[in-house]
Amino acid sequence: MAANRGMEQPNIPRSKSGGEAMTASWRLGTIRGIPIGLHWSMALVFALLTLSLATAFFPATHPDQPVAAYWLMAVISAALFFTSILLHELGHSWVAQRNDIPVTGITLFVFGGVAQISGQPKTAPVEFRIAAAGPIVSFALAAIFGLVWLLARDLPYLAAPCAWLSRLNLVLALFNLLPGFPLDGGRILRAAVWQTTGDERRAAQAAMVSGQLMAFALMGLGAIMVFRGNFANGVWLIFIGWFIQNAAMTEATGSTLESTLRGVTVAQAMGPKEPQVPSRLKLRQLIDEHVLPTGQRYFLVVDGDIPRGVVTLRDVAKVPRERWDWASVAEVMIPWNRLSYVTPDTELLAALQMMDDSRVSHLPVVNDNEPCGLLTREEVLHYLRLRMELQSM
């Protein structure tokens, strides 16, 4: 699962279930080069889950045990459950890496986990393998915990957590296999339709419809449970359905963006050559002589033939107005040696990836070591809208 992404600022880093990358509150470490993070909501879930296991579940399934034992089993079980979610996401991530698709991180949050995979699989079989890897890991964990439970049934401190973890991993695998995009089952459905029809866009549309239907079914079931008095579980199902509905929409938007822009180069999307200004230019002159007459917001800073950096209207806005008359562009620009840049032949998707990695809305375009313009998000959005309008004709 993943968070939302709006269409107005197209980015490329994607989770295995769509949407914008979930921001981690705490960094836990790195596994095979993949940063592992924890969202603050997971701490709340851990506390509630531990409390529920220690005060209700384990006392009911294994009575007459010391209270301290219940709390110990609860803490260990909750920790192993989060480890199971992490391994589920690592399953997706490792298969993605084996297929040369970068993974920028994994974040555990209230709805489980999200593997932040940069880009879409190029073929249906790759899509299938990445999607199936998570449930396969969960099924394997269910079997392992179940086997430990069988071998240790006379040891309640070991058997009780293993029985619970076995059932929960089985539920996790089966739930993720529901054919509702962006769940793993929805991605498997997308791969199947893609493989059958050979049309990636039609596959994405079919998967999006399946996700919408699944989301509304979960919300409807949750509403029925609320009306029948099962308030907590009903509300939880409604929230899950709402989350899937939003994630399905944003994933579909992201898939459309990528399929539309695939194969497009920077040269096709960038506008006319951006105006160049000297580094000694005063900010007041920049505003009065360049920004106001042209409406430009980005400028290459060049002295003679030597590129010095890039200055934007946002950089100027950080300087108090009373300093504009004597502060120069050189004082506020981003120096050239701190900039990432692309060439006219760079794929537009790769350029957007670089923008997102650098957290900027523009990139200098260099041809034969000479700056020839700037690529901005606004230009990409304009190009995307034009392409989609032409496709709809």
pLDDT tens digit sequence for 245-288: 887 777 666 666 776 777 788 888 887 766 789 999 999 999 99
Least confident of 131-140, 205-214, 323-332: 205-214
Q: Please, which pLDDT band fits residue 17 given cuts at 50, 70 and 90?
A: very low
- In the predicted structure, residue 11 carries a pLDDT above the cut 60: no
Mean pLDDT of the chain: 83
Cα distance between residue 393 and residue 384, in whole Å: 15
- In the predicted structure, residue 81 carries a pLDDT above the cut 70: yes
Residue type, 184: D
Return the pLDDT at 142: 96
- Answer with the residue of higher pLDDT: 43 or 221: 221
Residue type, 247: A
Domains and CATH numbers, the chain: 13-261 (no CATH), 266-392 (3.10.580.10)
| Contact predicate 292/324, CB 8 Å | no
Q: Which residues of 191-225 are buried (b: 16+ CB within 10 A; e: fewer)?
A: bbbbeeeeebeebbbbbbbbbbebbeebbeebeeb
- Answer with the residue of higher pLDDT: 359 or 379: 379
Residues 88-96: what's their mean pLDDT? 92
Q: Which residues, in sequence order, are CB contacts of 150 under 8 Å at separation 6+?
A: none
Q: Which residues of 92-109 are buried (b: 16+ CB within 10 A; e: fewer)?
A: bbbbbbeeebebbbbbbb
Read off the pLDDT of residues 97-117 as tens digits, 9 standing for 90 and up: 998 888 888 888 766 677 777
Q: Which residues, in sequence order, are CB contacts of 269 under 8 Å at separation 6+?
A: 348, 375, 379, 380, 383
Q: pLDDT exceeding 70 applies to what percent of the chain?
A: 89
Enumerate the H helices of 54-123 as residue ranges.
58-61, 67-98
Dig out the tokens for 131 from the structure.
């999607």
Cα distance between residue 130 and residue 51, in whole Å: 35
- In the predicted structure, residue 321 carries a pLDDT above the cut 60: yes
Backbone angles phi, psi at 345, to 5 degrees: -90, -5
Q: pLDDT exceeding 90 applies to what percent of the chain?
A: 28
Cα distance between residue 166 and residue 84, in whole Å: 10
Residue 278 CB neighbour total at 10 angstroms: 14
Read off the pLDDT of residues 122-167 as tens digits, 9 standing for 90 and up: 889 999 999 999 999 999 999 999 999 999 888 878 888 899 999 9
Cα distance between residue 200 and residue 202, in whole Å: 6
Q: Which residues, in sequence order, are CB contacts of 94 under 8 Å at separation 6+?
A: 32, 133
Read off the pLDDT of residues 293-314 as tens digits, 9 standing for 90 and up: 888 888 989 998 888 999 988 8
| Contact predicate 203/124, CB 8 Å | yes
187-190, long-range: CB < 8 A, 24+ apart: 187/16, 187/17, 187/127, 187/128, 187/130, 187/131, 188/128, 188/131, 188/132, 190/127, 190/131
| Catalytically active residues, by annotation | 89
